Amino acid sequence: MESYPAPARAAVRAMTDAAAADPARAVAIQGAPGCNSHIAAETMLAGCLALPCLSFEDALDAVKDGRAARALLPVENSLHGRVADIHLLLPGSGLHITGEWFMPIRYGLMGLGTQPVQAMSHPQALGQCRTWLRARGIEPVAYADTAGAAAAVRELGDPAVAAIAPPSAARLYGLDLLAEGLEDAHDNTTRFVLLAADAVTPPDGAACMTSFVFEVRNVPAALYKALGGFATNGVNLTKLESYQRGASFAATQFFCDVEGRPEEGGLGRALDELRFHCKWVRMLGTYPQGRPRPAA
């Protein structure tokens, strides 16, 4: 609790106490009250009790420890790309993806002075507002989360330092809203995934996504061979992200999203072929689509 800036602690304490009294309704989020994950949780899951957590690891642990039934965490943004920590943490978390949510992201500049020279925020938010900041000569300063940065600016009391956060955070932390629409594209959108200890069975007829991670063998054309089954079986692969684990640099792991359910013939056959060409495949979840993936 004390790790949060002082202006955020009362709200964090109240939300933590409410979640502890009813963990079945609790949804772990990363960030201080008023952050984008908080807004997403209350929009996607009406009546939920958001449980603020300092880090993504803390949010995952809250579900594993039973302090929250679910966690809602960002995985990618249309402007700034993937949230790298999540892709590294999900495979070993033991949790299942049970849903997804797409939320338009809007940012405001807030502070105690009219001409700040620095702006604090989460690196993702700073990246999404890069052009706006450069055009005004404002120095970006990384902070753990957006709303937490707003609380820190209030605590700091320096008119030269502002925060970039959802506009509603200005009112929450008693700051002046100096500018809005900072994001570098009007369609700025973040995709969140809902995580739980148990997998879900999507309703019959629902359009679904399936997410998984895999590691290819360190042989020529390994990825080409591993993914060939998706093409030959007509499976739409919507996301493929590579990343390294450890320092060997000998083999690459991949995070993948595809349309469909594993029990469907085409996807089932594609996954069988993937397993044949990989060291291992770990399923992360099959869940209803948050929005359709139209053909280009």
How far is 145 from 178, CA to CA, in rounded Å? 19
φ, ψ dihedrals at 216, nearest 5°: -80, 160
The catalytic position among 190, 210, 230, 254 is: 190
- Among 78, 101, 74, which Cα is nearest to 87's? 74
SS3 track for 199-246: CCCCCCCCCEEEEEEEEECCCCCHHHHHHHHHHHCCCCEEEEEEECCC
Residue with tokens 């209803």: 288
Q: Alpha helix locations (H) across the chain?
A: 6-21, 36-44, 56-64, 84-93, 123-128, 130-136, 146-156, 168-172, 222-232, 265-277
Residue 192 annotated as catalytic: yes
How far is 133 from 160, CA to CA, in rounded Å? 14
Residue 254 annotated as catalytic: no
The catalytic position among 16, 98, 146, 192 is: 192
Active centre residues (catalytic): 190, 192
